[in-house]
């Protein structure tokens, strides 16, 4: 038999080259010959057994309806059966799990296209890796099976060190073909995904990937081989657990190449990162919630890299300032361009001061895109320094307080009207006196000589001026004022308030006395707002002295600039109530609202000053107001 002699002469070594091609051609010819002539099965059996040292070859024929028509001994051995157990049986009924494997789709392809298919497959029943050639002859599928002699792989995978490592490693080690078929998987798959290693060998890794992450894993197989990265890469995806649910894995892989430089296998280490992913999801959710809270509160945060002059701003802050939302790195000038021109200098000074002191608490206005609309913002910030003490970063938050400021302004107006109402009785008395004088002198003018008339005119003019002063102060309290900070003399403001309230003090048997130092600095302020503060403090002192007494006012220099101290002899405030002074609707008066001092505290804070209360029950209360002075601008003594 020439076929037998030919097979006996071919060297069995190697997976590629002439041997495999001749062997494939030989078996193809033999299969056609057997099918057409009906040669006894023993003929092919003798052929396969001619050389005992040759690698065994399995041969299977499947008929048109997928029944086993012929199986040789090694072909049956690969399937862990005997030939007689298979003849006449339906292949997919006998091996239903194979439908999930590549063999099913490739056999269908061979029948549909009538072209030969060639692939490698792990046969679970026998635990063998085999090389398969399948081709269509008439209406049958002829299958040639050769056991893969993977010497290098077997040396590596079966070495004592490898198995000691893979048996105890917590990560999942996997070797796949270039199309994703699993050739090896470490035993840790049972702990991580619930499968046994033999359950998945020969199946496709894509079958275990969560649908939503499938494109990412497929992309790692479809991407072109990159010489620059030496075939290495990383992909993160979820795998389906055998008991349900998913597990997040991060896969660091490396492509193995064959002797032709083409990628052949993909070796990967899969690390369970589920816990990390959950933490990342929680952080993402927390960040989203924080952004939502910031948006609701009109709050944004920023981080200024001072050395590189780059600001990292939150989405909320960028939206507030009307800047591009996809730009998270901006020069600080981009933010200053949005600041109201009248507030830029003051804000720059505050920031320079914060570089020295370490913190900033400031308010400023921004101009929106139309150039007309203004918003008021409050910012808190901290400075960090390097080893040399240089400021390197500036962290802070900015909050839109426009609505809050509008509410405070309404409260101020309400408090002004309240004060004006309380002063009505005293003012009426104060105006009645000069009016009485004017009426009397008007009658005297009718009968007076020229010398007396001039004297009466002078007296009457003084009384008119007195009435005008009182009405002017009353109007200041009642009508809204435009906020404009300018240098003013605090003594002049205080003197006007004392003149307004002195009548009420006299009616309550209270004596107002005041002293001051020479050459006091001016104060950058809105004088009508300061008048409102002084009115509230003095009125509270007068009302606290129900049986009369003395109110001492001292104006002096201090480290902050200027200090105004108001000392009364009233009933005093209990120590536990002092911290609550300035809270809205908290008051020690029987019919008070508590808004007066709240407004006063707010005004002084906006003037970058502070108010301090000291009191002793039965002795009296001391109120100290501290305001920053304008050095170089001093008020002469009066």
Q: pLDDT digit string (tens) for 608-632?
A: 898 888 888 888 989 999 999 876 5
- Residue (of 462, 592, 607, 600) closest to 522 by Cα position: 607
Smallest CA-to-CA distance from 174 within 202, 151, 212 is with 202
Answer with the residue of higher pLDDT: 205 or 340. 205
Q: Using CB atoms within 10 Å of the CB of residue 373, give its burial: 0 to 12 exposed, 13 to 18 middle, 19+ buried.
A: exposed
**Per-residue model confidence (pLDDT) at position 374:** 77
Q: Name the helix (H) or strand (E) containing 367.
A: strand 359-367
> 76 and 86 in contact (C-beta within 8 Å)?
yes
CATH number for region 281-398:
3.30.450.20
Query: Which tokens go with 39?
Result: 């040669």
pLDDT at 76: 92
Q: CA 517, 520, 525, 527: dihedral to nearest 10 degrees?
A: 50
pTM, full prediction: 0.41
**Enclosing H/E stretch for 174:** strand 172-177
Residue 442: the pLDDT is 72
Whole-angstrom Cα distance, residue 81 to residue 198?
18
DSSP code, position 371 = S
Helix axes 527-544, 402-447, angle to 10 degrees: 80
Residue 490 has pLDDT above 70, yes or no: yes
Q: Of the CATH numbers 2.30.130.10, 3.30.450.20, 2.70.98.60, 3.90.1150.10, which one belongs to the domain with range 2-149?
A: 3.30.450.20
d(CA 376, CA 388): 36
Query: Residue 349 above 80 pLDDT?
Result: yes
Residue 3 confidence (pLDDT): 34
Contacts by 89-92, CB closer than 8 A, 24 or more apart: 90/65, 90/66, 91/62, 91/66, 91/67, 92/66
Which residue matches tokens 């003798």?
46
Residues of the chain with pLDDT > 70, as a percent, come to 70
Q: Give the residue-averaged pLDDT of 84-112.
A: 88
Multiple choice CATH, 405-635, 3.40.605.10, 3.30.565.10, 3.30.1180.20, 3.30.300.30: 3.30.565.10
The CB density around residue 63, as the number of other CB atoms within 10 Å, is 16
Does 2-149 match 281-398 in CATH topology?
Answer: yes
> Of the spans 239-248, 379-388, 395-404, which averages the highest pLDDT?
239-248
Considering the segment(s) 152-272 as one domain, its CATH architecture is: 2-Layer Sandwich (3.30)
Q: How far is 273 from 238, CA to CA, in rounded Å?
A: 10
What's the whole-number mean pLDDT along residues 256-262?
78
Higher-confidence residue of 116 and 165: namely 116
Q: At what angle do helices 18-37 and 2-9 cross, to 10 degrees?
A: 160
- Pairing mode of beta strands 232-240, 510-516: unpaired
The pLDDT-based confidence of 262 (bands split at 50, 70, 90) is: confident
Domain boundaries, the chain: 2-149, 152-272, 281-398, 405-635
Average pLDDT (566-593) is: 68
| Most confident of the following: 171-180, 412-421, 431-440 | 171-180
Mean pLDDT lowest among 438-452, 506-520, 569-583, 598-612:
438-452
pLDDT: which is higher, 293 or 56: 56
| The dihedral sign for the CA sequence 576, 582, 588, 590 | negative
Q: What is the pLDDT averaged over residues 343-365?
A: 86
Residue 26 pLDDT grade (very low, low, confident, very high; cuts 50, 70, 90):
very low
């Amino acid at each position: 038999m020439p076929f037998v002699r030919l097979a006996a002469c071919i060297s069995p070594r190697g997976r590629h080259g002439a041997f495999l091609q001749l062997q494939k051609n030989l078996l193809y010819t033999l299969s056609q010959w057997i099918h057409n002539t009906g040669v006894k099965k023993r003929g092919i059996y003798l052929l396969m057994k001619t050389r005992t040292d040759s690698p065994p070859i399995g041969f299977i024929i499947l008929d048109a309806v997928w029944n086993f028509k012929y199986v040789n001994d090694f072909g049956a051995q690969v399937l862990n059966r005997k030939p007689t157990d298979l003849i006449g049986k339906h292949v997919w009924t006998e091996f239903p799990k194979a439908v999930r494997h590549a063999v099913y789709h490739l056999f269908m392809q061979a029948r549909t296209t009538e072209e030969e298919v060639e692939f490698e497959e792990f046969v679970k029943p026998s635990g063998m890796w085999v090389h398969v050639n399948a081709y269509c002859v008439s209406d049958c599928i002829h299958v040639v099976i050769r056991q893969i002699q993977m010497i290098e792989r077997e040396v590596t995978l079966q070495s004592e060190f490898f198995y000691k490592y893979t048996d105890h490693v917590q990560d999942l080690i996997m070797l796949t073909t270039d199309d994703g078929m699993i050739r090896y998987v470490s035993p840790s798959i049972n702990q991580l995904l619930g499968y046994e290693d033999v359950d998945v060998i020969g199946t496709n890794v894509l079958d275990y990937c969560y649908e939503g992450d499938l494109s990412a894993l497929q992309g790692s197989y479809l991407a072109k081989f990159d010489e620059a990265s030496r075939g290495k890469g990383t992909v993160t995806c979820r795998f389906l657990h055998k008991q349900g649910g998913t597990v997040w894995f991060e896969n660091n892989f490396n492509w193995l190449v064959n002797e032709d430089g083409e990628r052949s296998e993909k070796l990967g280490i899969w690390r369970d990162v589920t816990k990390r992913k959950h933490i990342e999801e929680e952080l993402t959710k927390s960040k989203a919630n924080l952004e939502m809270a910031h948006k609701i509160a009109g709050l944004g945060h920023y981080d200024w890299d001072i050395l590189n002059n780059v600001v990292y701003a939150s989405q909320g802050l960028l939206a507030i300032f009307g800047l591009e939302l996809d730009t998270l790195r901006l020069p600080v000038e981009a933010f200053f361009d949005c600041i109201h021109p009248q507030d830029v200098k003051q804000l720059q000074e505050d920031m320079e001061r914060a570089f020295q002191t370490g913190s900033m608490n400031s308010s400023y206005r921004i101009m929106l895109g139309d150039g007309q609309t203004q918003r008021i913002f409050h910012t808190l910030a901290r400075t960090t320094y390097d080893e040399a003490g240089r400021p390197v970063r500036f962290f802070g938050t900015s909050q839109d307080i426009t609505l809050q400021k509008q509410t405070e302004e309404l409260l101020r107006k309400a408090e002004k009207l309240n004060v004006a109402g309380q002063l009505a009785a005293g003012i009426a008395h104060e105006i009645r006196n000069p009016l009485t004088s004017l009426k009397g002198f008007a009658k005297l003018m009718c009968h007076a000589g020229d010398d007396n008339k001039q004297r009466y005119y002078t007296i009457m003019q003084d009384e008119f001026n007195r009435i005008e002063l009182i009405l002017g102060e009353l109007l200041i309290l009642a009508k809204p004022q435009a906020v404009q900070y300018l240098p003013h003399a605090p003594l002049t403001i205080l003197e006007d308030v004392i003149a307004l309230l002195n009548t009420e003090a006299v009616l309550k048997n209270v004596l107002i006395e005041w002293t001051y130092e020479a050459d006091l600095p001016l104060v950058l302020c809105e004088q009508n707002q300061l008048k409102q503060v002084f009115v509230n403090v003095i009125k509270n002192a007068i009302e606290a002295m129900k049986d009369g007494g003395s109110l001492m006012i001292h104006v002096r220099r201090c480290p902050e600039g200027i200090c105004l101290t108001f000392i009364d002899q009233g009933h005093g405030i209990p120590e536990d109530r002092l911290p609550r002074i300035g809270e809205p609707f908290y008051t020690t008066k029987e019919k008070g609202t508590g808004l007066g001092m709240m407004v006063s505290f707010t005004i002084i804070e906006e003037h970058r000053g502070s108010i301090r209360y000291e009191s002793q029950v039965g002795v009296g209360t001391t109120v100290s107001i501290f305001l920053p002075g304008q050095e170089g601008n001093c008020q002469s003594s009066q």
